[in-house]
Amino acid sequence: MTTVIADITVSLDGYVTGAGAGPGRGLGDAEELHAWVSERDEVDSAILRDATAVSGAVVMGRGLYDVVDGPGGWTAEMGYGAQEAGTPPFFVVTRAAPAESRLVRDLGLRVTFTDSLPSAIDRAAAAAGNGAVVLMGGGELIGRALEAGLVDELRLHLAPLVLGAGTPLFRPGTRCHYRQREVRPSRNACHLVYERITSSTPGT
């Protein structure tokens, strides 16, 4: 069975963007969230390499897609994996597909639009081969996936700042149980890996 991994950067108070985030505005007033990507040390670089290598297929929401597809979004040098330039197939959850995709036209990426999160995960799993399905965001999509119990592994990159506002990762009322598997601190963040505990998980 294909593993579904949610992988996202989050502030100490649980936000994945600052206020005013969106196309042309990136993370809003919280660009420091991704300092671990732009100012990486050896641990951060290893995290990015490993995450890119494991990605058999990637799922994202429409809001994040509009950011990375926009004029200031991904480039051939940057792209998925932050200079690791991975090229897995991408599945975008949206009710209305855009007329064209810069990522497809200019970067040659494979992008499929689908109208529901379960459908996107199913289609990504079929395309992932031996890799994992990675939910890269945004926060609203990953929050829904956690709420629905669709995430096997949760990877959080905990940035050392408190934002006070923005896009929250966790939806009110969501309750799920994960076991801590890995903690890797770097100069810029603390990288955390959790695996979901189910009734069939050994040792529970």
Backbone torsions φ then ψ of 171, nearest 5 degrees: -85, 140
What pLDDT score was predicted for residue 85? 61
E strand segments, 77-124: 90-93, 111-114
The CATH homologous superfamily of the domain defined by 4-196: Dihydrofolate Reductase, subunit A (3.40.430.10)
Strand partners, 137: 60
What pLDDT score was predicted for residue 160? 95
> What digits encode the pLDDT tens for the residues 77-96?
776 755 566 689 999 999 99
What pLDDT score was predicted for residue 57? 95
What pLDDT score was predicted for residue 46? 94
> What digits encode the pLDDT tens for the residues 119-153?
999 999 999 999 999 999 889 999 999 999 999 99
Could you please report the per-residue DSSP string of 31-83?
GGGGHHHHT--HHHHHHHHHHHHHEEEEEEEHHHHHHHHSTTS--SSSTBTTS
What pLDDT score was predicted for residue 199? 63
- Ranges under pLDDT 70 in the chain: 22-26, 79, 81-86, 199-204
Taking residue 177's Cβ as centre, other Cβ atoms within 10 Å add up to 10
What pLDDT score was predicted for residue 68? 87
Cα gap 153→194, rounded to integer Å? 6
Mean per-residue pLDDT over the chain, rounded:
88
Cα gap 31→90, rounded to integer Å? 24
What pLDDT score was predicted for residue 14? 93
What pLDDT score was predicted for residue 192? 98
- Tell me, what amino acid is at 197? I
